[in-house]
Amino acid sequence: MPKSAWLSEELHAYIVAHGTEPDAVQQSLIEETAKLGGISMMQIAPEQGTFMTLLVRALGAKRVLEVGTFTGYSALCIARALPDDGELLCCDVSDEWTSIGKPYWEKAGVAHKIDLKIAPAVETLAALPEDESWDMAFIDADKPNYPNYFEAILPRLKPNGVILVDNVLWSGNVAKPDADDDNTKAIRAFNKKVADDPRVEAAIIPLGDGITLLRKK
């Protein structure tokens, strides 16, 4: 099911068909995750994964942080684009879900680049030195904590480093005046916070459920 609620099914299919397709390992992880049922919707859309792989390569990123790994699809998309000595630090609280992804990281030959920490991400991030040594980050975990993840990552990111943030359109609900559930409110507040923040440039890309691209000045 397309995550971009504002696109027709035909246009969504067209967009997917005209971007680079997931490879065989990625496709098998998509299928394995689908067996979990409705919760599999947490996985990023394949076209977002394609975009992230391309962006990591284009930026020449070497050290990347991920907040919210689930069954490891976004991690696979990032790690495959890193150089052989690159590093992806994945933060998640679920051993069960992340364990599903590990064999696929192995099959893709990227497991040696991935360091998975099972703990609340605010704790994992706070324990990292504030040394502006990360090139990029991807935020895709619990929505009310987005501002905390952003504030923890920004001082650890190199100038010109990029943060990607998923689900920033929340199925289009951010722009619906009558949508007032906690996640919608949290995402609206986060979107306003980063748009007003002079430390970053922000652009929302309506791909998947919406990805914000932030550049540290």
Ligand X SMILES: C[S@@+](CC[C@H](N)C(=O)[O-])C[C@H]1O[C@@H](n2cnc3c(N)ncnc32)[C@H](O)[C@@H]1O
Pairing of strands 211-216, 157-166: antiparallel
The least CB distance from residue 140 to ligand X, in Å, is 4
Are 98 and 74 within 8 A, CB to CB?
no
Nearer Cβ to ligand X (32/142): 142
Give the dihedral of Cα atoms 31, 207, 159, 76; nearest 10 deg: 10
The distance from CA 5 to its chain's CA centroid, rounded to whole angstroms, is: 19
Among 22, 46, 68, 161, binds ligand X (CB under 6 A): 68
Q: Which of residues 78-117 bind ligand X (CB under 6 A)?
A: 91-94, 97
The H-or-E segment that residue 116 falls in is strand 114-118
Q: Does 51 bind ligand X (CB under 6 A)?
A: no
- At its nearest, how many Å lie between ligand X and the CB of residue 100? 10
Q: Which is nearer to ligand X, 2 or 120 (CB)?
A: 120
Residue 114 phi, psi (nearest 5):
-110, 130
Range in contact with ligand X (rule: CB under 6 A) among 65-73, 80-88, 178-186, 199-207: 65-73
Write each residue from 137 to 156 as x if it is in contact with ligand X (CB under 6 A), else as -, in one continuous string. Answer: ---xxx--x-----------
Contact 65, 138 (CB under 8 A): yes
Which of 4, 26, 43, 191 touches ligand X (CB under 6 A)? 43
Return the amino acid letter for 196. D
128-162 in b/e form (b: 16+ CB < 10 A) is eeeeeebbbbbbbbbbebbebbbebbbebbeeebb
Question: How many residues touch ligand X (CB under 6 A)?
Answer: 20
Given 26, 50, 71, 212, the residue binding ligand X (CB under 6 A): 71
Closer of 177 and 205 to ligand X (Cβ): 205
Residues that bind ligand X in the complex, under the rule CB under 6 A: 42-44, 68-71, 73-74, 91-94, 97, 120-121, 140-142, 145
